[in-house]
Amino acid sequence: MEQFDVAVIGGGPGGYVAAIRCAQLGKKTVLVENRDLGGTCLNRGCIPTKTLLHTAELYDEIRGHGKELGLAADGLAVDYAALAARKDAVVARLRRGIEGLVRGRKISLVKGSAVFTGPGTLAVTDAGVAGGRPRESAAEYAAADIIIAAGCEPSSIPVPGAELPFVLNSDAVLSLAKAPESAVIIGGGVIGVEFATLFNALGKKITIIEMLPKILTGMDDSVCAAMTKTLTKRGVEIHTGAKLLEIAEKPGTGGKAAALCRYEEGGAKKEAFGDMVIMAVGRRPVTKALALEAAGIACERGFINVDERMATGVPGVWAIGDVTGKVQLAHVASAQALVAAANIAGENAKMRYDIIPACVYTNPEIASVGLTEEAAKAAGLPLKIGAFPAAANGRSMIMNVNDGFVKIITHAETGEILGAHIMAPRATDMIGEIAALMKAEGTVEELAATIHAHPTVSEMIMEAAHDVEGLCCHKL
Ligand code: NAI
């Protein structure tokens, strides 16, 4: 049995970052991965979707506003096969980068599926490895510390027809060689809304069926309402408070618009049609095959219980990323990885979840950090709120964007920034400014007094900060 200081299960943005940091801290580290390095984020999530969205938005902008922008692009067309090939190339290049980092840090990379055989021991088999040959016997590893970073996978709902071949999860959608002409998306969460943005921009007919009263539940109400309006204006059909009853094959369609979704909305039974159904109803942890019981690790609905130090309660066993069921975001997994690695190295690091930027790659983009207005009110905090519209921002106008705003929620007495919500071009790149200030415990006065370059979209943040005290010069 080979002995290591640290064994990491899973090579996503949680696991590979944990392995690299442990190696940086002088630990002899092994990283076990049964698919590709980079995990969901790189191979089946963040990177492929944003690559597709980049092209879709260029196409949509030129197709919809080319003439107005001074661009004649007659015959403009989407070559989806070429787009899919570019997506794969971007993913492959980033994956090679991670492989280089892992190799460069002298981390032992083992291809296979890890199974606990005890609190500090793992057996690695070829089970679940694509193209893997069965081994005579499993390779065995012992480690003083084991970090579980096995991630999550798309889940489904038990409605009749959910198993039909034209019902796709996000993994399958990202592998398509051809875009559907129409689709019904079940779930108006982040994945549902990003796929709606993608296929709508490519000129396809999209219907969203969401069970809850609004899309993007969890985000500030103002953002949910504004994005609902923007998507609807662009032709996406959104049904909220809608209960999916059944998925079936549409009869007599001759292969066209094959899927039929029956749902209930406001007490009435309705139908929606599409080439395919995209299931985007959340993700479940990948912990079943790990034999956690062999190490006595406690789970709840498959998610591994951890404390703020990322400890599982079993000495020397840690868990990070989507398996912890905290916040299913790549950057949270990486942050948890650094906390776990620091604790393995003898520190007492703790994970905080109060300042986490969350981004949705819609058009315009959405980004938020901290409390929503609803949560801040529910907490009974005294609030002062400032806002600034994209329609009054020069750079947004130059970029041909009129929808959107920046909203900053502050503590009325201390000026502390409690939360910020942005729907604007490059919102996802701008949210870091506010997150950094929140981390440094800065005040909204400091944000307002920070000179922001002109003309930039980021001026909206400064203007909203001034607006908290009613002192915004570019707003009546
Ligand atoms: P989600 O939890 O964000 O949204 C799922 C939606 O499906 C919810 O609104 C839920 O009410 C709805 N739903 C559930 N059952 C339903 C039913 N029977 N009928 C109709 N609607 C139903 O999950 P999603 O969008 O699948 O994303 C999974 C995770 O991946 C999230 O935690 C998200 O944060 C993360 N992610 C993050 C991205 C980003 O940061 N840009 C992009 C994509 C995913």
Residue 267 tokens read as 């007490």
Q: Please name the residue whose Cα sits nearest to atom 24 of ligand 1.
A: 282
Say if CB 7 and CB 141 are below 8 A apart. Answer: yes
Residue 46 tokens read as 């963040």
Q: Is 249 left (phi over 0), alpha (psi -120 to 50) or beta?
A: beta
Amino acid at 294: A
Ligand 1 centre and the CA of 49: distance in Å?
Answer: 15
Mention every residue, 6+ apart, whose C-beta is less than 8 A from residue 90. Answer: 47, 48, 51
Q: Give the CA dihedral 54, 55, 58, 61, nearest 10 degrees.
A: -100
Per-residue model confidence (pLDDT) at position 254: 62
Peptide bond into 455 cis (omega under 30): yes
Ligand 1 atom closest to the CA of 159, numbered from 1: 18
Residue 23 tokens read as 């190696």
Chain centroid to CA 21: how far?
23
Q: Is 310 left (phi over 0), alpha (psi -120 to 50) or beta?
A: left
Confirm whether 167-281 and 358-467 share one CATH topology: no
Per-residue model confidence (pLDDT) at position 140: 95
With b for 16 or more beta-carbon neighbours within 10 A and e for fewer, the 174-197 pattern comes to beeeebbebbbbbbbbbbbbbbbb
Per-domain boundaries in the chain: 2-42+86-153+284-344, 167-281, 358-467
Chain centroid to CA 211: how far?
20
Rounded-to-integer distance, Cα 146 and Cα 6, Å: 6
Residue 40 tokens read as 């969901």
What does pLDDT average to in each consecutive run of 10 residues of the chain (476 residues)? Answer: 96 98 98 97 98 98 96 96 98 98 97 94 82 65 98 96 97 97 98 98 98 98 98 98 96 74 97 97 95 94 97 98 98 98 98 98 98 98 98 98 97 98 98 98 98 98 98 96
Rounded-to-integer distance, Cα 369 and Cα 184, Å: 30
3-state SS record for 329-350? CHHHHHHHHHHHHHHHCCCCCC
Task: Let me know if 474 is exposed, middle or buried by CB neighbors in 10 A (0-12, 13-18, 19+).
Answer: middle
Mention every residue, 6+ apart, whose C-beta is less than 8 A from residue 431. Answer: 357, 359, 367, 368, 369, 420, 422
Ligand 1 centre and the CA of 273: distance in Å?
Answer: 21
Ligand 1 atom closest to the CA of 243, numbered from 1: 19
Per-residue model confidence (pLDDT) at position 250: 87
- CATH class of the domain comprising 2-42+86-153+284-344: alpha beta
Catalytically active residues are: 454
Instruction: Establish whether residue 40 lines the binding site of ligand 1, counting it when its CB lies within 6 angstroms of any ligand atom.
Output: no
Instruction: Establish whether residue 330 lines the binding site of ligand 1, counting it when its CB lies within 6 angstroms of any ligand atom.
Output: no
Best of 167, 191, 279 for a ligand 1 pocket test (most atoms within 8 Å of beta carbon): 191
Ligand 1 centre and the CA of 265: distance in Å?
Answer: 19
Task: For the domain covering 167-281, report its CATH number.
Answer: 3.50.50.60
Q: Which CATH superfamily is domain 358-467 in?
A: FAD/NAD-linked reductase, C-terminal dimerisation domain (3.30.390.30)
Say if CB 241 and CB 211 are below 8 A apart. Answer: yes
Say if CB 148 and CB 317 are below 8 A apart. Answer: yes
What is the pTM (predicted TM-score) of this model? 0.96
Per-residue model confidence (pLDDT) at position 369: 98
Best of 40, 171, 281 for a ligand 1 pocket test (most atoms within 8 Å of beta carbon): 281
Per-residue model confidence (pLDDT) at position 257: 63
Say if CB 21 and CB 334 are below 8 A apart. Answer: no
Rg for the chain, CA atoms, rounded: 24
Task: Let me know if 98 is exposed, middle or buried by CB neighbors in 10 A (0-12, 13-18, 19+).
Answer: buried
Number of H helices, E strands in the chain: 13, 24
Peptide bond into 364 cis (omega under 30): yes
